[in-house]
Structure 1
Amino acid sequence: MISDWKAAASRPTAISYAYPHVMSDRLAFYNPVGPEPPTYPLPPEEIAPGLFFADLFSLVNPAELYARGIYNVAAARNCEGSYPRDAECAYIDEPATLFALADVRRAGHPVLVHCDGTGEGVDFVTALLVMSDRMSVDEAVERVTQKFPYISMRPTSRRQLRGFEEMLKEEEKRKARLYEHMASTSQQLHQNMRGLLHRYLRTP
């Protein structure tokens, strides 16, 4: 599991889960019609509470991360990127890793998603916003591009993310139906027990 890098082992930890991969296509990293990307390093940007994103030109070093309380790095490509060697690393290779990252955020620990310039981090950080912040795909992409206006996303990747969004909505509906059924069953059992007790107590 992802933990504080000051207590982490020197070798990064890769997290892998066997869940269906719903977002396999790569992303176009630069928006050809948007602003030009900077040619100088920038610090990681917080795009949502406790969720930071870093691109090819972001300066990722211990001082910058310490200043933001970041002790967890999620690498969209691999665990050999330009982050402190004593950082705890999770390699995002399966959508299920998103649930682990969401748990880390819910526990109050900031997470940095870093793509090492491949553009794949946009895919996963968008999915994380959709899943844990209840944003639509368009809202999540807009949130990212507000801080990184030169980043773009291919239409195929956007469609895949919308499929992921619909999958989450269907799961929420399924859970709501299940809870409603359980509540109805519990109420019926309660009524049956009251009826049985009433008849038992009235038996001469």
Structure 2
Amino acid sequence: PPRQQLLLQQLPGYYEVSVNDCYKTIVFFPVTGNKLDSEAKKWRLVADVLNDIAIFMEILAPNFPMCFTLIVCSAGIFKSIVGVAGGATRAALTVHQARRDNMADISAKDGSQETLVNLVGLLVSLILIPLVTDNPLLTFVLFFLFTILHLFANYKAVRSVVMETLNEARLAIVLHQYLRDGRVLGPLEANHKEPVFLEFRRTVPIKLGVRLGELVYT
């Protein structure tokens, strides 16, 4: 049948997706690994955005048969980045929430909540699937509606996190405020002013633990 022939034609693309997943997972982590801990809130939001983009590309792919493999491979690359960034930032936020050194308890509760949310999502999908079948317009309308709700909820969640340690952004905010009026901001104020969206502007490189000899020669 034509559908089976199409799947057989696109089968090499799925192998390419697996290769891209492995490649991006290996390459992405060494490049941004040192930022996933200190910039956990930013990368958590980036992971959510990339995940929604990947889902949108997968929904869009069947409408472009000629570019199906390229679109699916690109979505796979995004999802591989989401897997690395999402897992790393989850660990960083779990450490932050474990105020009593109870990481196991926090992880168990997080897993229980995730299971409950997945169950609710499964039940909702059983209701929506008959409605969106053969109805592309309704599919995209519901997707954008749920995506907006998802990103807004994650933005508010990231904004509510109050880190008690200093990263580059929070340190710059605290120093700027102190040099301006001599006031030292508390963790709540510093976190409130911290940007949660990823910035691509160049920053001054900061290296810790540099040898004295390297400073002398440079």
| TM norm structure 2 | 0.25
User: What's the TM-score once normalised by structure 1's chain length?
Assistant: 0.27
Between structures 1 and 2, the one with greater helix share: 2
With a CA cutoff of 8 Å and minimum separation of 6, indicate the structure with the bigger relative contact order.
1
